[in-house]
Amino acid sequence: MSKSLIFGHQNPDTDAIVAAKAFAYFQTQKGYDVEAVALGEPNMETTYVLNHFDEPAPRVVKTVSNEVDDVMLVDHNEAQQSVSDLDKVQVSFVIDHHRIANFETTSPLYYRAEPVGCTSTILTEMFNEEKMEIPVKLAGLMLSAIISDTLLLQSPTTTDADREAVRMLAEIADIDVQSYGIAMLKAGTNLAAKSDKE
Does position 112 interact with a copy of itself (CB under 8 A)? The reply is yes
State the DSSP string of 29-77: HTT--EEEEESS---HHHHHHHHHTT-PPPEE-S-STTT-SEEEEES--
Would you say 60 or 100 has its CB closer to a copy of itself? 100
Three-state SS at 5: strand
* Interacting partner of 100 out of Mn ion, a copy of itself, none (Cβ under 5 to 8 A depending on kind): a copy of itself
Residue type, 24: A
Would you say 3 or 189 has its CB closer to Mn ion? 189
Q: Which of residues 133-152 bind Mn ion (CB under 5 A)?
A: 149
Using an 8 Å Cβ cutoff, are 57 and 42 in contact? yes
CB of 179 to a copy of itself, least distance (A): 30
Distance CA 27, CA 159 (A): 26
Would you say 62 or 110 has its CB closer to a copy of itself? 110
Single residue of 44, 57, 113, 182 touching a copy of itself by CB under 8 A: 113
Residue 125 CB neighbour total at 10 angstroms: 17
Q: Which of 65, 62, 72, 42 is nearest to 144 (CA)?
A: 42
* Interacting partner of 31 out of Mn ion, a copy of itself, none (Cβ under 5 to 8 A depending on kind): none
Q: Which residue is nearest to Mn ion (CB)?
A: 15
Question: Residues interacting with a copy of itself, by CB under 8 A?
Answer: 92, 97-116, 129, 157
